[in-house]
Amino acid sequence: MKKYMKYSAFAIVAVLLLAIAGCGKDNSDGAGGKDEFPKKAITLISPTSAGGGTDAAARALAADVEKHLGQPVGVVNKPGGSGSVGMTEGANANPDGYTATMVIAELTMLEHMGVSSLNQDQMKAVAMINLDPAALTVPADAPYDTLDGFIAYAKAHPGELNVGNAGSGSIWHVAAESLAKNAGIELNHVPFEGAAPAVTALVGGHVDAVTVSPAEVKTHLDAGTLKTLAVMSDKRSDIIPDVPTFTEAGLESETIATWRGITVPKDTPDEIVAILEDAFLKAAKEENFQKFMSSNGLGIELKSSKEFTSFMDENYNYYKEMFAELGLSGK
């Protein structure tokens, strides 16, 4: 017993010495200039619960960005309020670059939904990482094979087509409403708790179509139970390159998409933002992360801090109009 205690005492002293030595190294290395950021571990807030696509992407990205920052990056889940809980905390964090947030498309929608007063102006954009457009998907045995066919059927049967979405006011609901508006058709919108249950209902034949991302229906497209008619974006999706965009299929449409990116509190110094932007964009371009995203069917779309800022502003203004028009506004 005594022997073990001696050993463990040794071990503890050794670990402590190592730790002290480690600290010393850090200090001497980062003695001068702005290069010293980051000096300690960085926290990346994921505004969704563990297990979802946002969380998985955040964790994969965090693991890859560590190399470029030279410091560990820990993911913390702060779910709730359509992402408003975690993103608000990220916006109110110390503006020192040590707390970053994986923001989601809802950042530009929450204010219009009346859920929270949070918007993109309270954050500083670092980089956009991912974008997945909405796509119109129907059962494989549906009587139409094109967007035109779908629209013609809907015109002949007004209000009869049940279109599943991921919840009232969710991005996929906006997508279906926008389709109805642009095509001048009447659809019956059925909200589900997230995209997965909506897709399940479509596979089971309980709804007639869904407007979710290609990634979320990929399994069933491969299995041949569902077919995607068109993608709501200005360019085709990498996952289903054979499927036309809405414009190609003959219906003018805005890009409606879910996206994810990295932000920091708005008072964070620009030098620090630049370091983070560089590191995150580098990590996102690496094979490791690319492989993770493609195997999960998630589209990669990189935008610099500047591009991401104007992208979010455009989104914000578009949804403001859209929500008011659809009467979804919570205010």
Partner 1 sequence: MNLLLEGLVNVFQWEVLLFLTFGTILGIIIGSLPGLTSTMGVALMLPLTFGMEPVPGILLLIGVYFGSVYGGSLTAILINTPGTPASAATVMDGYPLTQKGQAHKALTISTLSCAIGGIISVLVLILVAPQLASFALKFSAPESFALALFGLSIVSSIAGKSIVKGLMAGTLGLLIATIGLDPIGGFPRFTFGMPEMTTGIGFIPIMIGLFALSEAFKSMEDIFVEKRVNVVIEKVKLKWVEFKGLIGTILRSAGIGTFTGMIPGAGADIAAFVAYNEAKRFAKNKDEFGKGDMRGVAAPEAAGNSVTGGAMIPLLTLGIPGDAVTAVLLGALMVQGLQPGPMLFESNGPIVYTLFVGMLLANVLLLVFGLLGIRFFTKVLLIPKTILTPLIIMLCVVGAYSLGNNYFDVVVMFIAGVVGYFFKKFEIPASPVILGLILGPMMESNLRRALVMSQGDLSIFYTRPITVVLLSIAVITLFTPLFTKKIMKNS
CB 98 within 8 A of CB 40: yes
Q: Using CA atoms, how far apart are residues 81 and 76, in angstroms rounded to an integer?
A: 16
Nearer of residues 170 and 253 to partner 1, judged by Cβ: 170
- Max CA separation in the chain (angstroms): 87
Nearer of residues 292 and 308 to partner 1, judged by Cβ: 292
In whole angstroms, how close is the CB of 82 to partner 1 at the nearest point? 7
In whole angstroms, how close is the CB of 206 to partner 1 at the nearest point? 4
In whole angstroms, how close is the CB of 88 to partner 1 at the nearest point? 6
Nearer of residues 151 and 221 to partner 1, judged by Cβ: 221
Nearer of residues 27 and 117 to partner 1, judged by Cβ: 117
Nearer of residues 94 and 219 to partner 1, judged by Cβ: 219
In whole angstroms, how close is the CB of 91 to partner 1 at the nearest point? 12
Place of tokens 């110094």: 269
Range 213-216 contact pairs with CB under 8 angstroms and sequence separation of 24 or more: 213/132, 213/133, 213/134, 213/135, 213/172, 213/257, 213/258, 213/299, 214/132, 214/133, 214/135, 214/239, 214/240, 214/243, 214/297, 215/53, 215/132, 215/239, 215/296, 215/297, 215/298, 215/299, 216/297
In whole angstroms, how close is the CB of 305 to partner 1 at the nearest point? 26
In whole angstroms, how close is the CB of 27 to partner 1 at the nearest point? 30
Kindly list the residues in this chain that would bind partner 1 in the complex (CB under 8 A): 49-53, 55-56, 59-60, 63, 76-82, 84-85, 88-89, 113-116, 159, 162, 167-170, 188-193, 196-197, 199-201, 203-207, 219-220, 222-223, 292, 295-297, 328, 330
Nearer of residues 20 and 223 to partner 1, judged by Cβ: 223
CB 323 within 8 A of CB 112: yes
CB 57 within 8 A of CB 130: yes
Beta strands in 105-202 (DSSP E): 123-133, 135-139, 162-165, 188-191
Nearer of residues 76 and 274 to partner 1, judged by Cβ: 76
Q: Using CA atoms, how far apart are residues 170 and 189, in angstroms rounded to an integer?
A: 12
Q: Using CA atoms, how far apart are residues 84 and 321, in angstroms rounded to an integer?
A: 21
Closest CA to 215 of 284, 127, 144, 137: 137
In whole angstroms, how close is the CB of 304 to partner 1 at the nearest point? 27
